Amino acid sequence: MPEILNMLIASLIPLLFILTYAIVILWVEIKVASHVQDRLGYMYTGGFHGWAQPIADLVKLLTKEHITPVSADKILFTLAPIIVFASSYAAYAALPFTSTFIASNLNVGIFYIIAITSFVVIGILMAGWASNNKYSLFGAMRSVAQIVSYEIPTALSILTVIIVTGTLNLQEICEMQKGGIFNWIIFKYPPFMFITFLIYFTASLAEVNRTPFDIPEAESELVAGYHTEYTGMKFAMFYLAEYANMFLVSGISAILFFGGWNSPFGEFLSGPVWGVFWFVSKGLFFVFLQIMLRWTLPRLRVDQLMYVSWKVLTPISFVNIMIVGLWAILK
């Protein structure tokens, strides 16, 4: 019995984290967007710079009517957002928040994350198909093509890191980077790990459908892509999954390249509690970078997106993996 209770608590913590994080990051996204554009953004709700607006939005979404289009496939239509959210939530299980907390300390942690996040594709395709809307279908098709092709550079760049670490266990990868900023993997084999990071970051942007790779939901072409027909809570699930995914890929970059929960100052400010702080702030930094990119860049076209994946990222990561591998053998 206590074991089940333990598991429940361990699974609830990431969920609580996602919910609070989503509310914070929604606010940050809007505020960053408005200030980049020389606007004020929302200022009223809750007092200071409208901090309560995401909560109000959430309440609004929860209380909205569920509309299922008449000609939609009802089962798939309902199931799609659940699958999309579940797959990104399940990936949080292998994410080490600190040296003492990881929901499930898998020895194939990173492999598990790559595998489970691929489920998003199924959810999105279901959403696009079940909506029975041409724009949704276009969005879903684009999204599937995009996520499947960008999984290759992602996996290859992760593989490069695995060559360095020799383990798939994320907790162990974090342990290895203990002892200050210069033990982080990003500074190993200069500059190849930095290139690996760039490849990973670019590919992860595409994996989570963020600008400049947001073509599945390109609002000026496809209205809203695969979630055009969704309202209320189902739409909120898609939204939540998107933001959860954003932190997930950022957290993985933090773990694989920037020491995870390790303090950049060696032993100073380290420990389980500080670990959470460092991990979350590193993750949030990359989320912030994603947000900044979104409000800076236009989006690519679907064939250019494929070009970036197959003709730029994939060959470079192959070359990169060869060099790092050779270097690791020779050392």
Partner 1 sequence: MATFEITTRSVKGDLKTDTMILNMGPQHPSTHGVLRLELVVDGEIIVDVIPHIGYLHRCFEKHAEQMTNYQQVIPYVDRMDYVAAMGNELAYVLAVERLMGIEVPERVQYIRVIMAELQRIASHLLAIGTYGLDLGAFTPFLWCFREREKILDLFEITCGARLLYNYIWIGGLSHDLPSEFGKKLKEFLKTFPKALKEINDLLTFNKIFIDRTANIGVLPADVAINYGCSGPMLRGSGVKFDLRKNEPYLVYDRFEFDIPVGEGKMGTVGDCWDRYYVRVREMEESLKIIEQAWEQLPPGDVHSAIPKKVRPPQGEVYFRTENPRGELGFYIISDGHTSSPFRVKARAPSFVNLSVLPEISKGYMIADLVAILGSVDIVLGEVDR
Partner 2 sequence: MKQYFKNIFIALWTILVGLKLTFKHLFVRAVTIQYPDVKLKLPERARNRLYVNIDDCIGCKQCEMACPVDCITIETVKALPNEDLGVTSTGNKKRLWVTKFDIDISKCCYCGLCVYPCPTECIYMTDVYEFSEYKRHNLIYHFSNFTPEEAEMKKKQVEQFELEQKMKKVVKPSEPTTVSNPGESEMKS
Q: Are 168 and 109 in contact (CB under 8 A)?
A: yes
13 binds partner 2 (CB under 8 A): no
Residue closest to 213 by CA, chosen among 293, 113, 151, 311: 293
Nearest distance from C-beta of residue 34 to partner 2, angstroms: 7
Give the burial class of 180: count Cβ atoms within 10 A of its Cβ; 0-12 exposed, 13-18 middle, 19 or more buried: middle
Q: Which of partner 1, partner 2, none binds 40 (CB below 5-8 Å, type-dependent)?
A: partner 2
Residue closest to 78 by CA, chosen among 301, 230, 306: 230
Residue 264: asked if its preceding bond is cis (omega within 30°), the reply is: no
Q: Which of partner 1, partner 2, none binds 65 (CB below 5-8 Å, type-dependent)?
A: none
Q: Are 169 and 256 in contact (CB under 8 A)?
A: no
Phi, psi of 223 (to 5 degrees): 65, -80
Which residues in the 22-41 window bind partner 2 by CB under 8 A? 32, 34-40
Nearest distance from C-beta of residue 11 to partner 1, angstroms: 37
Which residues in the 156-175 window bind partner 1 by CB under 8 A? none
Structural tokens at position 220: 């000026």
Site string for partner 2, 234-273 (x = CB under 8 A): ----------------------------------------
Dihedral of the CA atoms 261, 147, 319, 321 (nearest 10)?
Answer: 40
Helix (H, G, I), strand (E, B) or coil at 271: coil
Structural tokens at position 29: 């996204």
Among 134, 267, 269, 315, binds partner 1 (CB under 8 A): 134
Residue closest to 79 by CA, chosen among 193, 271, 188, 237: 237
- Segment contacting partner 1 (CB under 8 A): 45-53, 92-100, 216-224, 283-291? 216-224
Among 296, 315, 319, 322, binds partner 1 (CB under 8 A): 296
Residue (295 or 310) nearer to partner 2, CB:
295
176 binds partner 1 (CB under 8 A): no
297 binds partner 2 (CB under 8 A): yes
Residue (106 or 198) nearer to partner 2, CB:
198
Helix (H, G, I), strand (E, B) or coil at 265: coil
Structural tokens at position 256: 């694989």
Residue (63 or 71) nearer to partner 1, CB:
71
Nearest distance from C-beta of residue 259 to partner 2, angstroms: 24
Residue (33 or 162) nearer to partner 1, CB:
33
108 binds partner 2 (CB under 8 A): no
The angle subtended at Cα 215 by Cα 234 and Cα 285, nearest 5°, is 80
Helix (H, G, I), strand (E, B) or coil at 107: coil
Nearest distance from C-beta of residue 253 to partner 1, angstroms: 22
Q: Can you give the length of the chain in residues?
A: 331
122 binds partner 2 (CB under 8 A): no
- Residues near partner 2, by CB under 8 A: 32, 34-40, 43, 292-293, 295-297, 312
Site for partner 1, rule CB under 8 A = 33, 36-39, 134-135, 138, 211-212, 214-215, 218-223, 295-304, 307-308, 312
